[in-house]
A and B are shown apart, each in its own frame.
Chain A
Amino acid sequence: MRKAEGSPEMARWVRVLQQLFGATLLIFLVLTISCAKGNNATTHSGPALALKSLDATGQMQISEQDRCPVCGMQISQHVKFASAIQLDDDSSFYFCGTGCMMKAWLHPEIFLDRDKQSLRRAVAPEYFGGNYIDALSALWVAGSDVVGPMGPALVPLQDEADLETFKVRHGGKITFRLSELDDMKWKEITGKNATMRPGEKMMD
């Protein structure tokens, strides 16, 4: 008696469960495909320029949409280390930190899809005051206790006096200028290859 009444009922519940399962599976598949497409867009659609380029005084104009072309991080979350490279056509790339900016400066063809001749200048926020200074004229310190968005920071300083103070407060193993930077120097500073994207493992 119970089975006679219960079976069709049970069958109906089973059908409902099957439909629910099917719908869940479909939603999961759609979401997975969308996410995969989104990731591809981030990785392979080429680096995006900053929404607003450096202004006439060399100040960054960071927008919420700006992403680091090297690591993909949101620039507005890391404004104190954010750096920029301006191109000959006045457009700019913004970077989450000085390290990403330097990698792009060394290998723009890899990270920016541009050749080196198209780079006009690089700017970075001077450590003590936050004023944007020309990265080529800055004194850079590596191996200090200062940590940036991507780990140990490469710190831009305005002059020798600042360098002296900085070393007393934060240490620092290597001092260099951007013009001296090449792949060998980069490897000496960071222990990694300058062509590696964040998260990549060394093959050597």
Chain B
Amino acid sequence: MRISLPGLWVWAARDVLRRPAEALLAGAAMASLIAVLSAGLLLARGLSCSAETVLEDAPSLVIRRLSPGGWAPVPTRALEQLRGVTGVTRASARIWGVVRWQEASVTILALTPDDAGTGDEQLTAPGPGEAITGPGSGEAITAPGPGEAITGPGSGEAITAPGPVGAITGPGSGEAITAPGPGEAITGPAFALSPGQTISLHGACERSVRVKKVLPASWGLVAHDLILLNSSDARALLGLERDAASDFAVWVFHDTEMDAIRPDLEAALPFPVQITSRRESLGAMMAQLEKASGLLTTLLIPALLALVLLTTAMARIQLGSRRDIGLLKALGWRSGDILRLHLSRALVIGLPALAVGWCLAYGAVFLSGLNWAGALLFGWSGAAPQLTLDPTGVLRILLEVGALVLAPCLAAILLPTLRSATVDAEEWLRGEES
């Protein structure tokens, strides 16, 4: 007698339903394991992927002026001296900083293109592939546009994205956003504001600006919690003079120049500076991510222990079903049929558990806003940024975790079954082998 495959699946499903509580528990345990393992790995992957995207087109070097009290504004006229250094392919001055809004610190960035008038002629908003670093060594990272971004100081907290001078384009979307005029603001999705609302920002002075547009969530890490302003508003809030900017962004053609050009840049400027390269920024951000990811691995230890327990329990159950196998053989089932039946039974529980586990992990990392992980691991406040999704990486993680959990479980079911299924039915029924 050979049992058809659909017949086997129906039999397997009915067999599972004979002990629904047991099947539900096994399925829930597998789904939880898969969800916990996948979520941890997906989070680490998503963050590192987003960080790389944010930084890949960032300026080669960011130059900040040092003063005895910390960092100081840079005079925009010094741009000409930077542009005269051999190897500098592009240099721009940027206006950005931190102000208060509703008792919280927010990062503002001037997006206005070259303002007419003295002092501002050389000032440009960060362009495509530009970035802004925050104060302190390697603390903050940067700004891509159509692939631009800016990260906030210290935390690895992602901030925002300006685009080509005078306009910003969303990552992937190709949607161009024009620069805000005086009294206008473009806000990141973290603020939960809507166009038309007025916000009052406190810095060197108080200034109310009207929200012109809210950047879509798809801007994710690139434009999460940044407020884009007109340069006149940004200057007023940051207390910058008309011929001053927050820092300089410099581009070089070859990455090897990022280190080699530093002495010449320092010598070209008449004031002490701190120069941070893109490589250092990326390293600082990755170190922070790795530290946070290290915490995630502590979750894996109990999860792996649970996997061992689950596998052992399944193997035990399987060993206990020898009488059932003997009965089926007496009815004419072949060893192959029995093996397929148990495989089907395992998959009837395992596949839905796998799907549920994957969905839970994906939802937790990419749809929940990531608040739990951001607050726990990175100290983010408010809504978390949307992470970049790398389909290849995500698929690989999901398949790896699926295999990691399913393979031992299937082995725990199939190996005892294989051993039991090759014995003689009559002996089983007589109980000689039990």
Q: Which residues in A have some Cβ–Cβ distance to B below 8 Å? A: 1-2, 5-6, 9, 12-13, 80, 125, 127-130, 145-147, 161-162, 165, 169-170
Task: Identify A129's interface contact among B253, B334, B424, B426, CB under 8 A.
Answer: B253
Task: Identify A130's interface contact among B89, B256, B261, B334, CB under 8 A.
Answer: B89
- Asked if B424 and A128 sit within 8 Å, CB to CB, the answer is no
Residues of B within 8 A of A130 (CB): 89, 253-254
Q: How far is it, in angstroms, between the C-alpha of A128 and the C-alpha of B88 when the chains are bound?
A: 8
Task: Identify B422's interface contact among A9, A161, A162, CB under 8 A.
Answer: A9
Residues of B within 8 A of A6 (CB): 422, 424
- Asked if B424 and A170 sit within 8 Å, CB to CB, the answer is no
Residues of B within 8 A of A5 (CB): 424-425
Shortest C-beta distance, A27 to chain B (Å), equals 22
From B255, which residue of chain A is reached at the shortest CB distance? A80
- Asked if B253 and A127 sit within 8 Å, CB to CB, the answer is yes
Residues of B within 8 A of A12 (CB): 336
Q: A145-B256, A146-B254 are in contact. List 11 more A-B contacts (CB 8 A).
A: A1-B426, A1-B427, A2-B423, A5-B424, A9-B336, A125-B253, A128-B86, A128-B254, A130-B89, A161-B86, A169-B264
Shortest C-beta distance, B54 to chain A (Å), equals 22
Shortest C-beta distance, A95 to chain B (Å), equals 17
In the complex, whether B257 has a CB less than 8 A from a CB of chain A is: yes
Offer 16 A-B interface pairs, CB within 8 angstroms, sorted by A.
A2-B424, A5-B425, A6-B424, A127-B253, A128-B86, A129-B87, A129-B253, A130-B254, A146-B256, A147-B256, A162-B86, A165-B264, A169-B87, A169-B260, A169-B261, A170-B260
Mark interface residues in B249-292 (1 if CB within 8 Å of A CB, else 0): 00011101100110010000000000000000000000000000
Shortest C-beta distance, B88 to chain A (Å), equals 9
Residues of A within 8 A of B260 (CB): 169-170
Query: CB within 8 Å of A: which of B395-434?
Result: 422-427
- Asked if B335 and A9 sit within 8 Å, CB to CB, the answer is yes
Residues of B within 8 A of A9 (CB): 334-336, 422
Q: How far is it, in angstroms, between the C-alpha of A153 and the C-alpha of B384 when the chains are bound?
A: 45
Query: CB within 8 Å of A: which of B322-376?
Result: 334-336
- Asked if A128 and B422 sit within 8 Å, CB to CB, the answer is no
Q: How far is it, in angstroms, between the C-alpha of A165 and the C-alpha of B257 when the chains are bound?
A: 12
- Asked if A128 and B257 sit within 8 Å, CB to CB, the answer is yes
Residues of B within 8 A of A169 (CB): 87, 257, 260-261, 264
- Asked if B87 and A165 sit within 8 Å, CB to CB, the answer is yes
From A147, which residue of chain B is reached at the shortest CB distance? B256
From B87, which residue of chain A is reached at the shortest CB distance? A128
Residues of A within 8 A of B89 (CB): 128-130
From A146, which residue of chain B is reached at the shortest CB distance? B256
Shortest C-beta distance, A158 to chain B (Å), equals 10
Q: How far is it, in angstroms, between the C-alpha of A147 and the C-alpha of B260 when the chains are bound?
A: 14
Shortest C-beta distance, B327 to chain A (Å), equals 15
Shortest C-beta distance, A47 to chain B (Å), equals 27
Task: Identify A128's interface contact among B253, B335, B423, CB under 8 A.
Answer: B253
From A166, which residue of chain B is reached at the shortest CB distance? B86
- Asked if A80 and B424 sit within 8 Å, CB to CB, the answer is no
Task: Identify B424's interface contact among A1, A145, A162, CB under 8 A.
Answer: A1
**Which 3 A-B residue pairings sit nearest by Cβ, starting from the closest?**
A169-B260, A130-B253, A2-B424
Query: CB within 8 Å of A: which of B212-269?
Result: 252-254, 256-257, 260-261, 264
Residues of A within 8 A of B261 (CB): 169
Residues of B within 8 A of A127 (CB): 253-254
Residues of A within 8 A of B256 (CB): 145-147, 170
- Asked if B423 and A165 sit within 8 Å, CB to CB, the answer is no
Mark interface residues in B55-88 (1 if CB within 8 Å of A CB, else 0): 0000000000000000000000000000000110
Residues of B within 8 A of A80 (CB): 253-254
Shortest C-beta distance, B275 to chain A (Å), equals 15
From A9, which residue of chain B is reached at the shortest CB distance? B335
Q: How far is it, in angstroms, between the C-alpha of A1 and the C-alpha of B329 when the chains are bound?
A: 13
Residues of B within 8 A of A1 (CB): 424, 426-427
Q: How far is it, in angstroms, between the C-alpha of A13 and the C-alpha of B336 when the chains are bound?
A: 9
Residues of A within 8 A of B426 (CB): 1
- Asked if B86 and A165 sit within 8 Å, CB to CB, the answer is yes
Q: How far is it, in angstroms, between the C-alpha of A5 and the C-alpha of B425 when the chains are bound?
A: 9
From A161, which residue of chain B is reached at the shortest CB distance? B86
Asked whether A2 and B427 contact (CB < 8 A) given A128-B253, A170-B256, the answer is yes
From A1, which residue of chain B is reached at the shortest CB distance? B424
Shortest C-beta distance, B357 to chain A (Å), equals 31
Shortest C-beta distance, B82 to chain A (Å), equals 14
Q: How far is it, in angstroms, between the C-alpha of A162 and the C-alpha of B257 when the chains are bound?
A: 13
